[in-house]
């Protein structure tokens, strides 16, 4: 069950978001015009049934523009950012992130100023997701609203469904689809799915190497695929990736 604001409040929040989003788009557009497109390169790994290869892939990184000028032009302090974030927080749409003080004790009732930066970052997500899939100069309000509503459902959700993928190193022959339990299925590991899992960083964590090397990973033929439900409290850390909400 997802908690929803009343229709009048929802329209007000949506308008606040569109004002914020248009400010972000105008700012990014001006920076692109004066400084050029923010391109960075990353390594992309593709797979076949028996091998793999690495290639360089160019990606546009609009978020880097905002962080590059955060000392001189802090985006979370823009008037549009403050109004949008405060409206969503006070309406209970955006939850407070978990915080601790200098002594390590939990801050149970943070002020808006203490969490303003994190709230605005979360509001950026639906904007950046639209930019990543479209040309910044060709965006319209319908695209922004659709992305915002999808994110809002996740912010209001009491639980999320998290995808779980377990590569099986020593399985070379199995039925094409086999139910292992009510929550897991044994499936062939296609080249396309290998590329998706490896390149999205699912096997790597900050400060840690991958628990499986690329050569070994490329030879995996089957995986266990399932999901688990994770309940969310009102006061929680924001999650970067979510599969679905309820």
In whole angstroms, what is the distance from residue 148 CA to residue 156 CA?
A: 12
Query: Which residue is it, tokens 């006061």?
Result: 235
Give the residue extent of every domain in the chain.
Answer: 7-156, 160-229
DSSP class of residue 95 equals: P
Give pLDDT, residue 206. Answer: 45
pLDDT (tens digit, 9 = 90+) per residue, 72-109? 999 999 999 999 999 999 999 998 888 888 888 888 88
* Closest residue by Cα to residue 92 from 3, 159, 182: 3
pLDDT per position as a tens digit, 139-170: 789 999 999 999 999 898 877 777 888 888 88
pLDDT at 185: 87
pLDDT the model gives residue 27: 94
Q: How many residues comprise the chain?
A: 246
> Within its chain, how far is the Cα of 233 from the centroid?
19
CA distance 138 to 141: 10
Question: How many H helices and E strands in the chain?
Answer: 7, 7
Q: What is the pLDDT of residue 148?
A: 96
**Tokens representing 87?**
């409206």
Cα–Cα distance measured from residue 5 to residue 152, given in angstroms and rounded to the nearest whole number: 10
Residues of the chain short of pLDDT 70, as ranges, are 1-5, 133-135, 137, 174-177, 202-210, 230-246
> In whole angstroms, what is the distance from residue 161 CA to residue 246 CA?
8
Cβ contact 16:88 at 8 Å: yes
């Amino acid at each position: 069950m997802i908690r929803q604001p009343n229709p009048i409040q929802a329209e007000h929040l949506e308008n606040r978001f569109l004002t914020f989003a248009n400010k972000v788009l105008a700012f990014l557009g001006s920076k692109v015009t004066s400084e050029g497109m923010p391109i960075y390169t990353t390594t992309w790994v593709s797979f076949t049934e028996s091998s793999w290869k690495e290639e360089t892939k160019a990606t546009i990184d609009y978020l880097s523009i905002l962080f590059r000028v955060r000392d001189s032009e802090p985006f979370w302090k823009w008037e549009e950012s403050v109004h949008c974030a405060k409206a969503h927080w006070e309406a209970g749409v955006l939850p407070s992130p978990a915080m601790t003080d200098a002594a390590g004790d939990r801050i149970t009732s943070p002020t808006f100023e203490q969490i303003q930066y994190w709230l605005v970052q979360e509001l950026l997500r639906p904007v950046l997701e639209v930019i990543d899939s479209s040309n910044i100069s060709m965006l319209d309000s319908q695209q922004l609203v659709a992305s915002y509503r999808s994110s809002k459902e996740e912010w209001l959700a009491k639980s999320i469904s998290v995808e779980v993928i377990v590569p099986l190193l020593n399985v070379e022959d199995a039925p094409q689809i086999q139910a292992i339990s009510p929550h897991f299925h044994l499936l062939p590991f296609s080249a396309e799915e290998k590329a998706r899992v490896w390149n999205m960083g699912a096997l790597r964590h900050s400060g840690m190497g991958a628990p499986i090397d690329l050569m070994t990973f490329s030879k995996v033929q089957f995986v266990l695929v399932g999901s688990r439900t994770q309940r969310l409290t009102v006061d929680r850390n924001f999650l970067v990736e979510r599969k679905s909400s309820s």
